[in-house]
Amino acid sequence: MVVILLGPPGVGKGTQAIRLADRVGWEHLSTGDLLRAALRDGTPLGDEARTFMDAGELVPDGLIMNLVRERLSGLAPEAGILFDGFPRTTAQAEGLDGVLHETGRRVDRVVVFEAPEEDLVKRLSGRRTCPVCGAVYNVYFNPPARDEICDRCGAKLVHRSDDEPDTVRRRLRVYEEQTAPLVSYYEDAGEPVMHVAADRSVDEVQHAFRAALGLESTAP
């Protein structure tokens, strides 16, 4: 199954995607995580992406498509994939349709996570991420068992520089302008688009998420 996760920064897409991917053995493909790995490794892609990311702007579509193509080429053709933070523009959505088409696949489901804007700002300010395995925590809603330490791999957690208030506000605007229109893009293409209220506990959202994918019989 190929699933696209849409929703503004801070809505919890990463947390939900990692949980589900761990449970069902699907690939969690987060372009944000891939870009942050490129920054850490000091690759040419990382150097090109840095200014855009620091400003809360989108990295150019061409760079993103190359990254996604490369990642997909390493996966088994029938692998389940959860796309998190990609596509973010109509050009990327069209690019993805083309890449999937080459391997006889298509987008099977689109899940849109929704929460009020004041929740998003609080979530982003409390967010901590693991620089090693990509796990996501929140000091308010989903804290690690040991302060600032990743439950999964024991690494020290970090607060992302683009989770600072000014950059957060810019990222929310960019989402509304460039990414939110993808909901209509997929609806118009006749894809099943499911909406999940994400202003609930991590467990409740996970249950609703699985229900939206037909992996649970009912939502709570």
Say whether 171 is catalytic.
yes
- As measured in angstroms, the least distance from the Cβ of 100 to ligand AMP is 15
- As measured in angstroms, the least distance from the Cβ of 218 to ligand AMP is 30
Quote the crossing angle between the two packed helices 61-73 and 44-54, to the nearest 10°. Answer: 130
Vertex 4 angle, CA 123 and 26, to 5°: 95
User: What's the chain look like in SS3?
Assistant: CEEEEECCCCCCHHHHHHHHHHHHCCEEEEHHHHHHHHHHHCCHHHHHHHHHHHCCCCCCHHHHHHHHHHHHHCCCCCCCEEEECCCCCHHHHHHHHHHHHHCCCCCCEEEEEECCHHHHHHHHHHEEECCCCCCEEECCCECCCCCCECCCCCCECECCHHHCHHHHHHHHHHHHHHHCCHHHHHHHCCCCEEEEECCCCHHHHHHHHHHHCCCCCCCC
Instruction: Please identify, among the stretches 20-28, 49-57, 144-152, 181-189, the one whose residues bind ligand AMP according to the rule CB under 6 A.
Output: 49-57
Say whether 152 is catalytic.
no
Identity of the residue, 185 or 207, whose beta carbon is nearer to ligand AMP in the bound complex: 185
If binding means CB under 6 A, how many residues of this protein chain bind ligand AMP?
17
35 binds ligand AMP (CB under 6 A): yes
- As measured in angstroms, the least distance from the Cβ of 146 to ligand AMP is 24
171 binds ligand AMP (CB under 6 A): yes
- As measured in angstroms, the least distance from the Cβ of 79 to ligand AMP is 19
Say whether 156 is catalytic.
no
Chain residue whose CB lies nearest ligand AMP: 32
- With CB under 6 A as the contact rule, the residue among 4, 6, 29, 64 that binds ligand AMP is 64
Identity of the residue, 179 or 206, whose beta carbon is nearer to ligand AMP in the bound complex: 179
Where on the chain is the footprint of ligand AMP (CB under 6 A)? 9, 31-32, 35, 52-53, 56-59, 64, 85-86, 88, 92, 162, 171
Q: Which residues carry out catalysis?
A: 13, 88, 127, 160, 171
